[in-house]
Structure 1
Amino acid sequence: YQLLRDRLAAELPLVQLGQALPASDGELALAHSPDYIRSIMDGSIDPKLMREIGFPWSPAMAERARRSVGATISACRAAFRDGVAANIAGGTHHSSRDKGGGFCVFNDAAVAARLMQAERARSSRQPLQVALIDLDVHQGNGSASIFRGDPSVFTLSLHGQKNFPFRKEASDLDVDLPDGCGDADYLQALEGALDELERRFEPGLVIYLAGSDPHEGDRLGRLKLSWDGLEARDRRVFDWAFARRIPLAFAMAGGYGTRIEDTVQAQVNTFGVAVQYWRRWQNLAR
Structure 2
Amino acid sequence: MQVFYATQFVLPLPPGHRFPMGKYKLLRDRLTAELPEIALRQAESATDGQLALVHTPAYVQAISDGTVDKAILREIGFPWSEAMAVRARRSVGATIAACRAAFDDGVAANVAGGTHHAYADRGGGFCVFNDAAVATRLMQAEHGRRGRTLHVAVIDLDVHQGNGTARIFRDDPTVFTLSMHGQKNFPFRKEASDLDVDLPDGTGDAAYIEALELALGELERRFAPGLVIYLAGADPHEGDRLGRLKLTWDGLEARDRRVFDWAWQRGVPLAFAMAGGYGTRMEDTVQVQVNTFAAGVQAWRRWQNRRR
Q: Which residue of 2 aligns with 1:43?
A: 66
Q: Which residue of 1 aligns with 2:232?
A: 210
Give yes or no for the alignment of 1:269 onto 2:291: yes
Secondary structure at the counterpart of residue 93 of structure 1: coil
- CA shift at 1:278, angstroms? 0.6
Aligned equivalents of 2:54, 2:239: Cα separation in 1 = 33
Aligned equivalents of 1:182, 1:31: Cα separation in 2 = 35
Amino acid at match of 1:171: S
Q: Which residue of 1 aligns with 2:107?
A: 84
Amino acid at match of 1:72: T
Aligned equivalents of 1:48, 1:126: Cα separation in 2 = 41
Aligned equivalents of 2:92, 2:72: Cα separation in 1 = 20
Aligned equivalents of 1:144, 1:31: Cα separation in 2 = 12
What is the aligned counterpart of 2:199 among 173, 177, 181?
177
Q: Which residue of 1 aligns with 2:54?
A: 31
1:1-286 paired onto structure 2 within 5 Å: 1-122=24-145, 124-286=146-308
- CA shift at 1:121, angstroms? 1.0
Could you report, residue by residue, the CA deviation over 1:147-191 in whole angstroms, capped at 9, with x for unpaired residues? 001110000000000000000000000000000000011000000
Structure 1 residue runs of 4 or more that deviate by more than 2 Å after TM superposition: none
Aligned equivalents of 2:118, 2:59: Cα separation in 1 = 11
Could you report, residue by residue, the CA deviation over 1:211-253 in whole angstroms, capped at 9, with x for unpaired residues? 0000000000000001110000000000000000000000000
Amino acid at match of 2:64: M
Amino acid at match of 1:234: D
Identity across the alignment (%): 76
Secondary structure at the counterpart of residue 164 of structure 2: helix
Amino acid at match of 2:111: I
Q: Mark the runs of 5 or more structure 2 residues left unpaired by the alignment.
A: 1-23
Amino acid at match of 1:54: G
Amino acid at match of 2:293: F
Secondary structure at the counterpart of residue 194 of structure 1: helix
Aligned equivalents of 1:41, 1:149: Cα separation in 2 = 30
Q: Mark the runs of 5 or more structure 1 residues left unpaired by the alignment.
A: none
Aligned equivalents of 2:297, 2:273: Cα separation in 1 = 14
TM-score, reference length from structure 1? 0.99
Secondary structure at the counterpart of residue 18 of structure 1: strand
Amino acid at match of 1:266: V
Aligned equivalents of 1:96, 1:30: Cα separation in 2 = 12
Secondary structure at the counterpart of residue 156 of structure 1: strand
Aligned equivalents of 2:248, 2:26: Cα separation in 1 = 22
CA RMSD in angstroms, aligned pairs only:
0.4
TM-score, reference length from structure 2? 0.92
- CA shift at 1:20, angstroms? 1.4
Secondary structure at the counterpart of residue 108 of structure 2: strand
